[in-house]
Amino acid sequence: MKKALLLIPLLFFFENCFSQSGWVRQNSGTTSNLYSVGFINATTGVCVGTGGIILKTTNGGTNWIQQSSGYTLNIRSLSVTSSYSLYACGDSGLVLKSADLGVTWTRLNLIKPRYRFNSVFFVNDSIGYVGGIDSHFDFNLPNQIFKTLDGGSSWDSIQTDPGWGGYTVSFFFLTPTLGWKTDGAVIVSSEGVSKTSDGGLNWTYEYSQSPPFNTVFFIDSLNGWLSGRSHWGNVSSILRTTDGGNTWLDSSPYSTSPILSIDFINIRKGWACGESHLIFSTTNSGINWIQQTLIQEGINYRSVCFTDSLTGWVAGDSGRILKTTN
């Protein structure tokens, strides 16, 4: 009985820490794990996650309304274009599109049921990329990504390495031709980040490590960041580059938990979130990181998104969504 009573003040303590650090928990209305969050502006945003769940808000997250994806497959990644088209991808080759700000969703014509798509990225309404892992773990297959030039009506496959059982973890494109992706490998250590300058036709490895990186983000053609990911134990890793990825410098925060998502609003100000309830911020391009929340095991924040220098959200496991306005 004493242990049960102690949980009540502890819960209040952690909720107060949200307010003190400037992060306030929102009512998502779900306990599903949320993998990706994206906002069109300071009021309209979408979250996607397990079981095909799609949540939408039109009032900055005060209310989140569940939308019908039409599927019960896990949705793992979300991409928002500048003209407000939304794309999502997930398990069993699922790729979805919404042209009405996330109210209705249509499955795109990319039939790859063996693929678990980890990442989708649309540069504009026409050009987009999707990639992931072959669920049969066929070591003879090359790492393939899929590209569309017509908004998802048709797709071409692009081979990005030999048949090493490789897979794509995440994408980031600045222009239709200039982009980066993080890779993992099932049996050969070809994990790291690679770069393309010709729209994905050719890729060059820039940095390799094991375990692989989880996500990559660039604010311009020179300045970018990589966040760490763990297969065999906890590891925290953030690298930064100032020369387009030719060299990478370690700027990891002091944490043993993996960093799962990064977002920068300008070249100096950015945020990172990850496992164990962690959120970090930087005001000097990632040279130093400040921890904004206390460690809580079992609560993982998987995606962070800011619309300006003050307003942002993180989303994660068990339907957790936090918002800051300061």
Return d(Cα 270, Cα 263) in angstroms, integer: 6
Per-residue model confidence as pLDDT tens for the chain (326 residues): 434 443 334 433 344 444 446 899 999 999 999 999 999 999 999 999 999 999 999 999 999 999 999 999 999 999 998 888 999 999 999 999 999 989 999 999 898 888 999 999 999 999 999 999 887 766 566 678 999 999 999 999 987 765 555 789 999 999 999 999 988 776 555 568 889 999 999 988 887 766 668 899 999 999 999 987 544 445 567 889 999 999 988 877 766 678 899 999 999 999 999 988 889 999 999 999 998 887 777 789 999 999 999 999 999 999 999 999 98
Q: Distance between CA 268 and CA 284 in Å, rounded?
A: 5
Q: Which residues contact 264 (CB under 8 A, 6 or more apart)?
A: 217, 219, 225, 270, 271
Q: Which helix (H) or strand (E) holds 179?
A: strand 179-185
DSSP letter assigned to residue 13:
H
Cβ contact 79:121 at 8 Å: yes
∠ at Cα 221 (216, 224), nearest 5°? 30
Compute how many other C-beta atoms are within 10 angstroms of the C-beta atom of residue 61.
25
pLDDT at 143: 76
Cα–Cα distance between 29 and 9 in angstroms, integer? Answer: 24
Q: Burial code of 21-36, b = ≥16 C-beta within 10 A, e = fewer?
A: bbbeebebebebbbbb
| Residue 281 to residue 289: CA distance in whole angstroms | 5
Place of tokens 């398990």: 91
